[in-house]
Structure 1
């Protein structure tokens, strides 16, 4: 049957060949598709994707046939398929029925028959048979292997310059679109285009693009864009520019943009061909960017492809859909953050063209809304400024200049005076409405005296802009002022619009006929008036700006408007919670009081029937956290927190029950208030969390943070003797649970550091050993696979600090060993354990505490090492003022015979390295000089250094403190003779009196050094000065010191 059918086809083709003719004119086809401008109804949604495709006849002229046949190249390309493609071919080949197998075999024999015939020399019969086979494949056989045969037939027919109808290009492209996928389809389309380029001197680029754009698939869109790119590249070729009578226009580009939009895809398909440009990952936006680049490079010649309204809006809509795409790829996430900026830039370009009198490209309300929403979903740090700029642009187009709006009233409040172009109310809001009204020619000629759209910002525009401002990283008082300005503008714009609708006679008459009245609330809902979301966002901005008092004012305004009947601004639970958040960030005792008042207000309103403001879990937890932060200034806060959590425990609603976060906040409250009960209560709460979890309250499962807070409470407690031991016991309990399989309580580095710090601040002489044991445990757990317990700089620093406070003879050597470990880890690239100036300084303190004969040498060696590291570029190791002070302290505690010279060298080195001395520096220096022993010359030189240091500290603007004068008098006592040096002593005494520096310590020291007669003369008293106290001295002598209360020896100390 198949053979009879094929013979019938051959007979019909021979008959048609007799009556047919070979086309040898300048065109390869007798009838080419003509396209006219089609006016379509534009969709009202943001995703406007349709565009008219404007093309004219594509004409071709014959050119000489190349020596190497394109068909040969294509055969070789086709035969080099991958293993996967070969398997698909075999499967498809086996799926063919007998008739289709016969057609396939006949096609293969036909291709072998014509392969050796030069291009342009096939008979009409052969051409007709090949054309018929293509048609047969298109209508009946959808198979990969058959598509390959159809593709080969089409390429040979193109080389024969066959008439367009016999090529079946339109059907073939649709056929290939159904059979091929991805890069295979793109490669086949590019080979077809190449065949046309080699066969004709004018390739039907736009016709091929038009057909591809009707497929609405990603690979067809990719192929269309690649062909257009090749077309433009050949036109712009400086060495051999292509002449073509039918150039690409903006409609050609818009057809591809529409194809991308309808394909639902936004990424190019990978193939053996690539675009000559890459501006953006999003395909439509990338194409529009290329249009702009070509236009900007040569505006006069490339006016034909200047992007229009549809171009930009299609790109913006595509970018918006891209923003919803989620990926684990970091590059994709980075790209999504830039989408708002790209959309904003597209809109700015539209406005630029509009201001150049191209009014038809003006963005409409949907364009502005789409870009604003895109900015709202973005996370770029500059999105807030872009949103404000966009909103200001909309207001400016309405006749409102935000920069000139407003002022400060007599009461200090912001006043707004908005003058609006009310004629905009009668303007269309979208391109669709404008298109239906016509008059495009008049609009494009710039005859309109005002903006052609009603782009008065609506409530949602303001709310999105305010939300972006609230989410920005830097929110301050300026941000809050601008936000309040926008809200005031919303009020007046809403009043304009409401009045406009109320004054509309047709609307009022229609409502009157139906027995209805104008509902102001409905008008407000569709206008620019602020609503609950507006005020909630404004409250959030005030909270982030650290302005709780202003937040209170905003909330009171909200409550007032609602009480006056404005239902659009009814406060809800979010309003209260945001206000609670504002006060939770406030510093001071009033914060706790204010949040408890707000919580009571919420509860009263809920009890009166307003369920929208009933406190929830967030409300309760925020209040408890606020009480915790202000607990230092109000020690009754823990009781209030306990009362709140008790109410939560009694609540039957699961959403209001306390969870581990709430209980953790209560522990923080006890810890911050410094109560003696803090440590015990923390342990009780941990036990309670475990008990509630075992009782079925899964939200109370203890976690690492809860344990860490409890550890901190125990470590800071003064009530528990041996707090470090109790903290370590809780840490061991934490580890036991983790080792039993409870990963939620896995100890962290902070857990260990908290306990190590407790040991460091304890009075246990073995504190250094305990801290180092914990550090070793951290290494073991980390080696076992627990990443969050990896030892870090803080852990090592705390351990070294514990050794420095231990006073053990081996403290210096143990601290030095830990320091070497850190330096070894740093050399291996582990920056988390990099030593810094604080660690080096604590190692110095450990050497001083160890009191070894070579402690001073070790300290000086560490200082030299720090300076070397700093000079090599490690700024974290650069010695600071504290470092040099510790070195001076080491000199003072040493037995060096010339410690005054050592101290002088350190002070000189300190100044040379640019480190500024403080009062502690000079006090320690003078203390070191005071301890110098030796002959008279040595001691007098040491005292001269003390006087020089005293003069220097005054010269640099430092004030002597309570340790300066005792250091000077100690040097005086050690190095001066009471008889021979009386003038110097007398001068120093007068300076001390003049400075009012006599405190109890200094007076006792001076009284033990100076003869009683000397003091009697100075005090003008004859009684025994040895019984005097500092309170008996003249007020002038003690005016700059704190003397404290006078103790009454007759009173006994009361028992606490």
Structure 2
């Protein structure tokens, strides 16, 4: 097999092989280096006019095959630098070389005095442009020598000075090899070019580029290297031939930018020069390997840590084989550990720790002092665990470090920043006691510092990390604790401790603690403290974009309906401060996104319009060149969300068009994605239009089509399908249930075929179950329940039944036409839920809602045993609550359902017992058991259906007056409704008491009075009037009945359309007459 790497340009736009090629190619090269140099024939490096290539090929025996052509047809990194014909000519075959004497005599070389002066300046200047002038002068020399005619004095000896400057074995071997076939070359000729410039001068300039921050620094360094090789290829002479320092310096230029690909390319050149061209001075050394590791450490490439570790292994192998005097050291290992730490891989902590243990084993067992772990090493491993919130792992490393220190390793001494990393680990963990544990660590630092066991006490970073730990916690007191710590810092800082000077990050973390709780007042107070601190001279406390973003976040989470308006004010303040130069940065995409998100979550009717206007303002600024306001998919989706929440389908479609146009015009960050289409479907589901389910399903099919054509990165997922299912489930279409089920079955089919992001979850199943529940179709619901359980038991953990699952099934039984079976089956489901929870099959047991649903099922059944069964379940709930299960504490719905069971059976005695139980529970502190309007109405209904005809109407009217009084005092949120009034009237009407007609009429007139005074809730309806008519009819009072009929007709004529005379009205009058 062989590998080929190519690039067409350097610096700004390289076209390289896939990123994984370079680390793997590099490792193969490193392994190949273990082979001794004399047997290294076969590694080729060529640059030609037509198709310059840089290729490496490996035969089965490990040799290199120079005959393999470049298969990708692109120019190599190195050959692309030979842009002029002269340079290309210099890179071709050097069988015919002129003498250096001829080159110098052909024309006076440029003045080298300036070059010397510029090179001297390099060591004194830190400017990124420092090497530019020296490079210009070098290029003049390069151009001069490369312009010499190559057709003369082809057989001059190019290595005559073999004995003039270096008598080492390596140099002698090199010169001996180069002298063959060129006997006429003189030492004086070599000296003449050496006085002009040499490898040391070139390397100094390359070294300056490697330290430069200039964006073209790697390209410039590589250009010098390439031209050095070109001069050598043309004239020979080791004084201009690149050595290991030269190559390593160029690699360092790429390493500084984390460019593994560029560094690998240069390393490939180095290997080729060493093994194929016998340039033994270019042999990679330990520093070369370390520089390559440094490239990995600074790289953002996915496989960087794996590559770094393989380079480390190769370095160790080479050193063990005696091919390198110097092997790995503490810095080398620490760099690889740091590479893992920053990578974000889940296995990073384990890999970092394994490397640490290797160091400890070599240091303690083998006595290798070079790899003794130091504070940086331990801190990197600790940080690897801290980033993942793995407190246990971090503490184990911490103990290892302390043991290492106690055993004599002074470099492993605990210091403040290590404690800070441990606090960070707690902050990142999900441990409920994280803030308290972090505070213990801070106190430990303070104690150690006070005893002199730590050279430094905690600094602002330590305190800031602790504040952040509190900010991320769920504790109610978190904001106040964060603020207390901040104020403690401020107090110590004002007393002269400069290390505790709060900065914008510290203030931001404290504000974030308030923001996470939606406490805008607290966040603004901390912001004011920050501004005062800044105005008093603390320049580190200057507000920035992040601070304003945190303030905005507080408003977003506050739940205040005016939050979007307040966030807009903050945005305008930022714009103003930026225009005045007070803020270094103006509002960016994140800030605008926060504002749009605030509007999207708002219930204000103008939310969709405002979100869209802000988006359009962003687009305008972006098109004018402000790249900080480039709208991305998140921004567009937030605007879509604003439209979707209010069912604004037209607005959603308009935003979709804006997004697509923006993407088509070149903004690749605005690419429509899964969430985009899901929001569009959601807009239809909320729009309330009859065609919503069909339109949602069309969008779902469009998503599948786009994915199959490669225009959507991911196929429609569980959420997309579930929204469409829910849309069908809530529709009034007869086919809604079947369509919901069909989509569920298509999801199951795709999931079983390997589309993992399409597997149904509990929410999906709940939507389909709800479709059946709305129609009271218990048979269909049970079929879905079976499918769900089969899916769960076959390995789909997302289909695990939840509390809501059982609640929907129980509710479906209560709505079914199987009234005799429903309460019994509902109670079976309740028991099944309890059993499954105890076995761990479901995560949550039944709560008050589930128990109440079963009670309601019994209440509606009409079975004789209903009241008793309902009460038994209520008492079971009270019993569980007394044993500590807060979730099953009965509420007003529970009590009302039990009351209803007694009321339906006319059992006033049992109803009154439940009424007393409910009131006692409320008075004992259960605020959720407070009687409400339905509670009173149910009890009145119980009186109405009881056999106590004499007491019933009077007791019912007492309850009515009690409701009116409680409402007047504010102890009952609402007054009695027309249903309550009508129930009391009906109670009087059914009694045989002589005063019944008049009492019924009095209540009716009271209702009319309240209604005419603006209380719509008590407007009499046909049922009300008919109940009063019935009271007169039962006692044969025709005159009274006629008067009530006229009142009813007048009320209707006055605009009360609810008081229409119906057939029952006339039937009652006929009975009266």
Answer with 658-667 or 578-587: which moved more. Answer: 578-587
In the other structure, the counterpart of 2:264 is 385
In the other structure, the counterpart of 1:921 is 720
- Paired residue for 1:594, among 393, 396, 400? 396
> CA 1:736 to 1:814, structure 2 compared with 1: closer, same or farther past 3 Å?
farther
Secondary structure at the residue paired with 1:1045? Answer: coil
In the other structure, the counterpart of 1:689 is 489
Deviations 1:630-672 (A, max 9, x none): 4658736413531354257537799724332232222233344
In the other structure, the counterpart of 1:286 is 139
Secondary structure at the residue paired with 2:880? Answer: coil
Taking the aligned partners of 2:617 and 2:334, their CA distance within structure 1 comes to 53
Secondary structure at the residue paired with 1:658? Answer: coil
- Please say if 1:528 is aligned against 2:326: yes
Q: Deviation at 1:250?
A: 3.9
- Report if the CA contact (8 A) 1:340-1:383 is conserved: no
Paired residues, number:
690
- Paired residue for 1:808, among 573, 585, 604? 604
- Report if the CA contact (8 A) 1:387-1:468 is conserved: no
- Report if the CA contact (8 A) 1:962-1:1041 is conserved: no
Taking the aligned partners of 1:901 and 1:453, their CA distance within structure 2 comes to 75
In the other structure, the counterpart of 1:949 is 743
In the other structure, the counterpart of 1:750 is 546
Secondary structure at the residue paired with 1:806? Answer: coil
- Please say if 1:961 is aligned against 2:761: yes
Taking the aligned partners of 1:796 and 1:643, their CA distance within structure 2 comes to 41
Secondary structure at the residue paired with 1:1052? Answer: helix
Taking the aligned partners of 1:550 and 1:995, their CA distance within structure 2 comes to 37
Taking the aligned partners of 2:590 and 2:684, their CA distance within structure 1 comes to 28
- Report if the CA contact (8 A) 2:460-2:502 is conserved: yes
- Report if the CA contact (8 A) 2:479-2:510 is conserved: yes
- Report if the CA contact (8 A) 1:810-1:850 is conserved: no
Deviations 1:355-397 (A, max 9, x none): xxx7x64988x93335435644663525643675577579859
In the other structure, the counterpart of 2:248 is 372
In the other structure, the counterpart of 1:338 is 219
- Paired residue for 1:259, among 112, 136, 139? 112
> CA 1:318 to 1:637, structure 2 compared with 1: closer, same or farther past 3 Å?
farther
Taking the aligned partners of 2:475 and 2:674, their CA distance within structure 1 comes to 36
Secondary structure at the residue paired with 2:844? Answer: coil
Aligned ranges for residues 47-66 of structure 1 at < 5 Å? none
Taking the aligned partners of 1:927 and 1:455, their CA distance within structure 2 comes to 69
Deviations 1:928-958 (A, max 9, x none): 334444xxxxx33555544543444344333
- Paired residue for 1:643, among 438, 443, 460? 443
- Report if the CA contact (8 A) 2:112-2:197 is conserved: no
Q: Deviation at 1:727?
A: 1.7
Taking the aligned partners of 2:107 and 2:421, their CA distance within structure 1 comes to 53
Q: Deviation at 1:1004?
A: 2.4
In the other structure, the counterpart of 1:887 is 680
- Alpha-carbon RMSD: 5.0
Aligned ranges for residues 438-517 of structure 1 at < 5 Å? 467=294, 470-471=297-298, 474=301, 475-493=304-322
- Please say if 1:903 is aligned against 2:709: no
Deviations 1:893-942 (A, max 9, x none): 33424434443454455556555433333332233334444xxxxx3355
Q: Deviation at 1:558?
A: 4.3
Taking the aligned partners of 1:794 and 1:1011, their CA distance within structure 2 comes to 55
Taking the aligned partners of 1:388 and 1:575, their CA distance within structure 2 comes to 27
- Please say if 1:1052 is aligned against 2:891: no
In the other structure, the counterpart of 1:174 is none
Q: Deviation at 1:486?
A: 0.9
- Report if the CA contact (8 A) 2:210-2:249 is conserved: no
Taking the aligned partners of 2:498 and 2:766, their CA distance within structure 1 comes to 63
- Please say if 1:317 is aligned against 2:317: no
- Report if the CA contact (8 A) 1:539-1:575 is conserved: yes
Deviations 1:181-220 (A, max 9, x none): xxxxxxxxxxxxxxxxxxxxxxxxxxxxxxxxxxxxxxxx
Secondary structure at the residue paired with 1:786? Answer: coil
In the other structure, the counterpart of 1:709 is 509
In the other structure, the counterpart of 1:604 is 406
> CA 1:338 to 1:671, structure 2 compared with 1: closer, same or farther past 3 Å?
same
Q: Deviation at 1:265?
A: 3.0
Q: Relative contact order (alpha carbons < 8 A, sep ≥ 6): 1 or 2 greater?
A: 1
In the other structure, the counterpart of 1:1010 is 816
> CA 1:567 to 1:596, structure 2 compared with 1: closer, same or farther past 3 Å?
closer
Q: Deviation at 1:323?
A: 4.9
In the other structure, the counterpart of 2:102 is 249
> CA 1:1037 to 1:299, structure 2 compared with 1: closer, same or farther past 3 Å?
farther
Deviations 1:839-897 (A, max 9, x none): 3333343345557xxx3433343334434444444444444332333333333333424
Taking the aligned partners of 2:412 and 2:840, their CA distance within structure 1 comes to 57
Secondary structure at the residue paired with 1:790? Answer: coil
Aligned ranges for residues 289-300 of structure 1 at < 5 Å? 289-290=142-143, 293-294=146-147, 298=150
- Report if the CA contact (8 A) 2:274-2:280 is conserved: no
Taking the aligned partners of 2:621 and 2:682, their CA distance within structure 1 comes to 30
- Report if the CA contact (8 A) 1:803-1:812 is conserved: yes
In the other structure, the counterpart of 2:588 is 792
- Report if the CA contact (8 A) 1:631-1:669 is conserved: no
Taking the aligned partners of 2:599 and 2:533, their CA distance within structure 1 comes to 30
In the other structure, the counterpart of 1:425 is none
Taking the aligned partners of 2:587 and 2:101, their CA distance within structure 1 comes to 65
- Paired residue for 2:617, among 806, 821, 824? 821
Which consecutive unaligned segments of at least 5 residues does structure 2 have?
A: 1-85, 91-97, 122-131, 160-188, 752-757, 793-798, 848-875, 887-1073
> CA 1:351 to 1:259, structure 2 compared with 1: closer, same or farther past 3 Å?
closer
Taking the aligned partners of 2:112 and 2:215, their CA distance within structure 1 comes to 27
Q: What TM-score results when the alignment is normalised by the length of structure 2?
A: 0.55
Aligned ranges for residues 182-261 of structure 1 at < 5 Å? 249-252=102-105, 256=109, 259-260=112-113
Q: Deviation at 1:757?
A: 1.8
Deviations 1:41-100 (A, max 9, x none): xxxxxxxxxxxxxxxxxxxxxxxxxxxxxxxxxxxxxxxxxxxxxxxxxxxxxxxxxxxx
- Report if the CA contact (8 A) 1:966-1:1005 is conserved: no
Taking the aligned partners of 1:904 and 1:841, their CA distance within structure 2 comes to 19
- Paired residue for 2:461, among 661, 672, 675? 661
> CA 1:351 to 1:582, structure 2 compared with 1: closer, same or farther past 3 Å?
farther
- Report if the CA contact (8 A) 2:273-2:279 is conserved: no
- Report if the CA contact (8 A) 1:993-1:1036 is conserved: no
